[in-house]
């Protein structure tokens, strides 16, 4: 096969430049420990061959990545951002934060941001990925990692999440162990993978315990306290209300706390509440919130680390990484009232 019809390799570039593959890799990664003349020769060959590193990356690195997130109005997002920024700082890479919403159709599309910023890659947080958006990034030679994707991404897209099913199972089994049998759940948006996985874990725990699932006790929200407040009010107004509510996020648990207060119920004496996330505020709620911890900061770090692996041309052990969740028992759960 002729060079004109084959994809140039790192070995080919190194051979033509008269240097080692390690030297070419250093030039690709923007390392400074390469002689100026050697760097110029290698860069010229990379340009003449229109070289794209594995994954469609550009030959030159800008030292900048885009973090595209649906909003910074929740502590959850701040923890993710903290992890991404920490990993970037350790590597001397800058991060540009862009706030978008899936329903926001105003131009420019977030897929145009990497070109505007001349960034090397994108970390996309809790957003829906379409094939068209994927193709736009590939044509631009931009690497991509997704945190908690709304929909199931293509198998070759790197994604980072938590063991949401196991977390939902652990939260519900904890309430069952205390004696609760009327347990409600308030998830996030119905279409989100992480939300559905938590509810599936809830279902599995009830099924294991031989408890019939009451569909009236399964509700969906938006991971925010306002929606959970309204859903909790509806649940507590049932003729046979739940004695415990598993909220799909700590913010939703806050809404449940307020609904209980307005109904004249005490947490946990009259109503047990479990959250999900383990945000810093959990210790400061009254009572402190029992919740499922997902390592949000480490999720951000892992996403950034994975993106740098892609940019360095390294092979990923798996395109899907799920970090372990852990139940943190505090004071918002107790045995159900006897009556």
* 146-175 pLDDT, tens digit each: 998 877 666 778 899 999 999 999 999 999
pLDDT digit string (tens) for 267-290?
999 999 999 999 999 999 999 999
CB 76 within 8 A of CB 329: no
Number of other residues whose CB lies within 10 A of the CB of residue 59: 19
Mean of the per-residue pLDDT values for the chain? 85
User: Sheet holding 290-293: strands in order across?
Assistant: 218-220, 183-187, 244-247, 272-277, 290-293, 326-328
CB 200 within 8 A of CB 194: no
How high is the pLDDT of residue 104? 47
How high is the pLDDT of residue 333? 98
Residues 20 and 280: their CA atoms lie apart, in Å, by 49
> Confidence band (pLDDT; 50, 70, 90) for 107?
very low
- The pTM of the full predicted model, rounded to 2 decimals, is 0.79
Tell me the mean pLDDT in the region 48-60: 56
Residues 58 and 55: their CA atoms lie apart, in Å, by 9
> Confidence band (pLDDT; 50, 70, 90) for 106?
very low
How high is the pLDDT of residue 260? 98
- Picking from 291, 275, 235, the residue whose alpha carbon sits closest to that of residue 259 is 235
pLDDT higher than threshold 70 for residue 54: no
Tokens at 41, concatenated: 């020769």
């Amino acid at each position: 096969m002729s060079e004109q019809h084959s994809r140039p390799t790192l070995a080919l570039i190194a051979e033509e430049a008269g240097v080692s593959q390690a030297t070419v890799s250093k030039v690709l990664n923007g390392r400074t420990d390469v002689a100026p003349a050697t760097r110029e020769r290698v860069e010229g060959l990379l340009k003449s061959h229109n070289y794209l590193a594995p994954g469609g990356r550009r030959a030159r690195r800008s030292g900048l990545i885009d973090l595209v997130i649906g909003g910074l109005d929740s502590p959850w997002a701040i923890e993710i951002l903290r992890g991404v920024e920490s990993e970037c700082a350790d590597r001397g890479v800058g991060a540009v934060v862009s706030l978008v919403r899936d329903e926001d159709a105003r131009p420019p599309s977030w897929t145009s941001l990497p070109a505007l910023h001349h960034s090397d890659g994108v970390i996309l947080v809790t957003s829906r990925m379409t094939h068209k958006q994927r193709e736009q990034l590939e044509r631009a030679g931009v690497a991509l990692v997704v945190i908690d994707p709304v929909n199931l991404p293509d198998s070759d897209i790197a994604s980072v999440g938590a063991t949401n099913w196991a977390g939902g199972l652990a939260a519900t089994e904890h309430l069952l162990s205390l004696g609760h049998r009327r347990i409600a759940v308030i998830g996030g948006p119905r279409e989100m993978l992480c939300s559905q996985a938590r509810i599936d874990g809830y279902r599995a725990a009830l099924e294991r315990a031989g408890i019939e699932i009451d569909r009236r006790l399964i509700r969906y929200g938006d991971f925010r306290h306002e929606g959970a407040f309204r859903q909790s009010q509806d649940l507590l107004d049932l003729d046979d209300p739940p004695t415990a509510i598993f909220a799909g996020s700590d913010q939703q648990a806050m809404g449940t706390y307020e609904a209980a207060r307005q109904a004249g119920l005490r947490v946990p004496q009259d109503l047990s509440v479990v959250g999900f996330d383990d945000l810093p505020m959990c210790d400061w709620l009254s009572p402190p919130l029992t919740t499922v911890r997902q390592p949000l900061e480490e999720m951000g770090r892992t996403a950034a680390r994975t993106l740098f692996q892609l940019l360095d041309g390294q092979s990923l052990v798996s395109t899907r990484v799920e970090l372990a969740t852990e139940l943190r028992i505090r004071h918002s759960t107790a045995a159900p009232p006897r009556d």
